[in-house]
Amino acid sequence: MHSADGTGKRRIGVMGGTFDPIHHGHLVAASEVAALFHLDEVVFVPTGEPWQKSHKLVTPAEDRYLMTVIATASNPQFSVSRIDIDRGGPTYTIDTLRDLRALNADADLFFITGADALSQILTWRDAEELFALAHFIGVTRPGHDLSSDGLPEGGVSLVEVPALAISSTDCRARVRGGDPVWYLVPDGVVRYIDKRELYRD
Ligand code: ATP
Ligand code: MG
């Protein structure tokens, strides 16, 4: 099988997230890392019921999945996986990576994560196995320090991506307050939020 770096091994980026909703910060991060690391593909993996957020109300998985599909559909390098949604229950990154590893036995996996999530990396379960399953790429995010303190040597790359001060939390608040989210999220996602009347409470 071909690969973007010519070694024959496919290089697959993995972008996990709640994507409630997916926004241009996610898409720019994935695109930038794909170029920098010569990835063949980036798989977006919307969470099932995220344990970090289980105390809050999270939009139904099918809506988050469809918004992620709409946002990525035009990019031939981007795809969306249902593995975390279909597994059911809370999503652990270790399960995401184990399942993707089983489905892509000879690929190199690159887990892409924002600086905010990276700083919690060692609080994740099974940290050692995580680093064996994938290379971790921490990307800059406005308001969060991109620091590798305490992270295993060689297991993590830190990269600067064009800074977009966009968060899903802010997008939801804007919709609730009647403010526009045009150009913060893809056009089709604006339409979908409207059609399904998401984030209105
Ligand atoms: P919420 O505000 O609900 O937490 P979010 O904007 O943080 O949403 P998530 O779905 O939680 O979006 O994030 C998925 C991944 O994308 C995480 O690794 C997160 O750090 C990263 N990410 C989110 N927004 C940005 C951004 N603007 N720039 C870089 N990385 C981002
Ligand atoms: Mg977040």
Q: Is 27 exposed, middle or buried (0-12, 13-18, 19+ CB in 10 A)?
A: buried
Q: Are 142 and 165 in contact (CB under 8 A)?
A: yes
| Among 123, 131, 187, 118, CA closest to 158 | 118
* pLDDT (mean) for 22-51: 94
Ligand 1, atom 6, lies closest to the CA of: 167
In short, whether 139's Cβ falls inside 6 Å of ligand 1 is yes
Q: Answer yes or no: is pLDDT of 159 > 60.
A: yes
- Any idea where the domains of the chain sit in the sequence? 11-164
| Per-residue confidence (pLDDT) for residue 54, from 0 to 100 | 54
Residue nearest to atom 19 of ligand 1 (CA): 114
- pLDDT level of residue 116 (50, 70, 90 thresholds): confident
Q: What type of residue is 102? A: A
The pLDDT mean for the chain works out to 90
CA 8 to ligand 2 center in whole angstroms: 34
Residue type, 3: S
Amino acid 46: pLDDT: 97
User: Which of 118, 24, 114, 117 has the alpha carbon at shortest distance from 75?
Assistant: 24
Which residue minimizes the CA distance to atom 26 of ligand 1? 25
Which neighbouring-strand residues pair with 157?
Answer: 137
- Residue 64: CB within 6 Å of ligand 1? no
Architecture of domain 11-164: 3-Layer(aba) Sandwich (3.40)
Q: What's this model's pTM, rounded to 2 decimal places?
A: 0.93
| More confident call, 118 vs 102 | 102
* Secondary structure (DSSP) of 34-84: HHHTT-SEEEEEE-SS-GGGTTS----HHHHHHHHHHHHTT-TTEEE--HH
Q: How far apart are the CA of 160 and the centre of ligand 1, in A? A: 15
Write down the H helix ranges in 73-182: 83-87, 93-103, 115-118, 127-133, 168-176
Asked if the model's pLDDT at residue 104 lies above 70, the reply is yes
Q: Which atom of ligand 1 is nearest to the CA of 15?
A: 15
Give the closest residue to 135 by CA, choosing from 164, 162, 156: 156
- For the CA of 19, the closest atom of ligand 1 is 10
Mutate to test the pocket of ligand 1, among 24, 72, 167, 199 (most ligand atoms within 8 A of CB): 167
Site to probe by mutation for ligand 1, drawn from 22, 110, 116, 121 as the one with most ligand atoms within 8 Å of Cβ, is: 116
Q: Which atom of ligand 1 is nearest to the CA of 116?
A: 20
Q: What angle do CA 155, 169, 100 make, to 5 degrees?
A: 35
% of the chain exceeding 70 in pLDDT = 88
